[in-house]
Chains A and B, each alone.
Chain A
Amino acid sequence: GAVVSQHPSWVICKSGTSVKIECRSLDFQATTMFWYRQFPKQSLMLMATSNEGSKATYEQGVEKDKFLINHASLTLSTLTVTSAHPEDSSFYICSAKPGTLNEQFFGPGTRLTVL
């Protein structure tokens, strides 16, 4: 149980384009999903918290107009990186939290490379 998937697992795009990443909880309903970013040899950085049916809460320094998050259902959240630039190249990881538990379960991550 507690499986989280992400799609795509990797993506290469040109500077200025937008990229959408999907995060799905496969066998549980996730009232809350989280989006993290991790640069090489650094720790996880929380970008935003999304609750189903409401606006995401962004961490300080994360541009909400650049990183669009939608949590349309209890099993799906999406992160869209708009007008991507090379500095946005990173490992993006989502996690999902079942409603009654404090554990978070991570997706396998999406490696984004912006040329």
Chain B
Amino acid sequence: QKEVEQNSGPLSVPEGAIASLNCTYSDRGSQSFFWYRQYSGKSPELIMSIYSNGDKEDGRFTAQLNKASQYVSLLIRDSQPSDSATYLCAVTTGRRALTFGSGTRLQVQP
């Protein structure tokens, strides 16, 4: 079992729609959770961090965490073609390096 699992996609949504990206993790000791965006040929860019159960909103992005279900999600409202990228979920217990999922490729259709 992979430590961090994501659907590889591609997830295709029309422009203006809500994109929902999901991630599950196996280590119950995980305490910090992150979403990174990676454009093709570029390095990852941190877009959201979340540490406690519930929702965290930042502009068009909302991260959701459910530690009991070991589940993290990222919602992107009003999706734009420029949001087309691979989204990486990452978790850590705080004592180790981040563990990354393999990423979900998002395609926003104009």
- B 78-94 binary contact with A (CB < 8 Å = 1; else 0): 00000000001010101
Contact check, B43 vs A93: say whether CB atoms are below 8 A apart. yes
| Residue A46 CB within 8 A of the other chain | yes
Selected from B43, B45, B88, B94, the residue in CB contact (under 8 A) with A43 is B88
Q: How far is the CA of A113 from the CA of B41 in the complex (A)?
A: 14
Q: How far is the CA of A93 from the CA of B36 in the complex (A)?
A: 14
Beta-carbon contacts under 8 Å, B76-110 to A: 88, 90, 92, 94, 97-98, 100-103
What is the number of contacts between chain A and chain B, taking CB atoms within 8 Å? 41
Cβ of A49: which chain B residues have Cβ within 8 Å of it?
A: 97
Contact check, B43 vs A108: say whether CB atoms are below 8 A apart. yes
Q: Which of A12-20, A80-88, A97-105 contacts B (4 or more CB under 8 A)?
A: A97-105
| Residue B42 CB within 8 A of the other chain | yes
Contact check, A44 vs B49: say whether CB atoms are below 8 A apart. no
Q: How far is the CA of A108 from the CA of B41 in the complex (A)?
A: 10
- Please classify the interface of chain A as helix (H, G, I), strand (E, B), loop, or mixed, using the class held by over half of its residues: loop
- B 41-62 binary contact with A (CB < 8 Å = 1; else 0): 1111110010000000000000
Question: What count of chain B residues pass the 8 Å CB interface test?
Answer: 21
Q: How far is the CA of A104 from the CA of B32 in the complex (A)?
A: 11
Assess A102 versus B94: contact at CB under 8 Å? Given A43-B88, A43-B103.
Answer: yes
Q: How far is the CA of A34 from the CA of B98 in the complex (A)?
A: 9
The residue of chain B having its C-beta at the shortest distance from the C-beta of A57 within the complex is B97
Apart from A43-B102, A102-B31, A102-B92, 14 more pairs, CB < 8 Å = A34-B97, A44-B44, A44-B88, A46-B97, A49-B97, A102-B49, A102-B94, A103-B32, A104-B90, A104-B97, A104-B98, A105-B46, A106-B45, A109-B42
Supply 20 A–B pairs (Cβ within 8 Å), ascending by A.
A34-B97, A42-B102, A43-B88, A43-B103, A44-B44, A44-B88, A46-B97, A49-B97, A102-B92, A103-B32, A103-B46, A104-B34, A104-B97, A104-B98, A105-B46, A106-B44, A106-B45, A108-B42, A108-B43, A109-B43
Binding site for B on A (CB under 8 A): 34, 42-44, 46, 49, 91, 93, 102-109
